[in-house]
Structure 1
């Protein structure tokens, strides 16, 4: 008697439309890339640097 004919055990169902793990992971990565919105642009840095001339004029 083989393992698949052991009483009390059902045979494993076979997948008819099976995907490889590589294809499954690739499809998940593609779905995540498509559904993720682009990042917002970073704000422009403030240009409040004080120059040497500004210090002299203030004095």
Structure 2
């Protein structure tokens, strides 16, 4: 009976990558794959007005 229990037990998985490196890679992939935000129109308009006054 002990032999069948040993055969049915789930094998222990040993990771070749440390969890810290895996999480860092995931965070870097998320930053790279996220498109840049479009600036708010309200934030852009005052800058354009300031540039016109300066010119």
TM-score range, shorter-chain basis?
Answer: 0.5 to 0.7
Is there any run of 5+ residues in structure 1 with no aligned partner, and where? 48-59
Q: How many correspondences in the alignment?
A: 42
Report the alpha carbon displacement of residue 43 of structure 1 after superposing the two structures with TM.
0.9
Q: Which has the higher contact order (CA 8 A, sep 6+)?
A: 1
Is there any run of 5+ residues in structure 2 with no aligned partner, and where? 47-55
From the two aligned structures, give the one with the greater helix fraction.
2
Q: After alignment, is 32-41 or 17-26 more displaced?
A: 17-26
Could you tell me the TM-score, scaled by structure 2's length?
0.53
Alpha-carbon distance in 2 for matches of 1:14, 1:44: 53
* Higher gyration radius (CA): 1
Alpha-carbon distance in 1 for matches of 2:3, 2:25: 38
4+ long deviations beyond 2 Å: 9-15, 44-47
Could you tell me the TM-score, scaled by structure 1's length?
0.50
User: SS of the residue aligned with 2:16?
Assistant: coil
Q: Which residue of 1 aligns with 2:50?
A: none
